[in-house]
Amino acid sequence: YNSRGFRDTEWPSNLEDCKGAIWCIGDSFTVGLGNPIEHIWPHILQQKIGRRTINISLNGASNNWISRKCVRILEEIHPQFLIVHWSYNYRLDKNIFVPVLDLHV
């Protein structure tokens, strides 16, 4: 996990590198719960196409949480690419600890 609490390497330090990355958002499938980081789909995608991925995912994330993060990223970063792995329809927001998405790089 990186310093922002997401299962990823440290993110680029400048905004332009963040814009050029592929942003991957989702639930435990995107986190890769129980798998080595080399086996999770954002990492495999990065290795296959040679372009930086940024993994924004949370175990048990609801579609509401995922959509809020998408909106923030789209409004603040304006990435070229954003891939969303939606969660189960029945997952609802709960009062649990979730990593804060601090986009100030």
Place of tokens 């798998």: 35
Backbone dihedral region of 80: left (phi > 0), alpha (psi from -120 to 50 degrees) or beta?
Answer: alpha
CB-count exposure of residue 62 (10 Å: 0-12, 13-18, 19+):
buried
Q: How confident is the model at residue 96 (pLDDT cuts 50, 70, 90)?
A: low
CB 31 within 8 A of CB 66: no
- Cα–Cα distance, 80 to 60 (Å, whole number): 27
Point out the least confidently predicted range of 31-35, 46-50, 78-82, 97-101: 97-101
Place of tokens 């922002």: 4
Place of tokens 């009062």: 95
Point out the least confidently predicted range of 2-6, 12-16, 51-55: 12-16
Beta strands at 53-57 and 22-26: parallel, antiparallel or unpaired: parallel
pTM for this predicted structure = 0.83
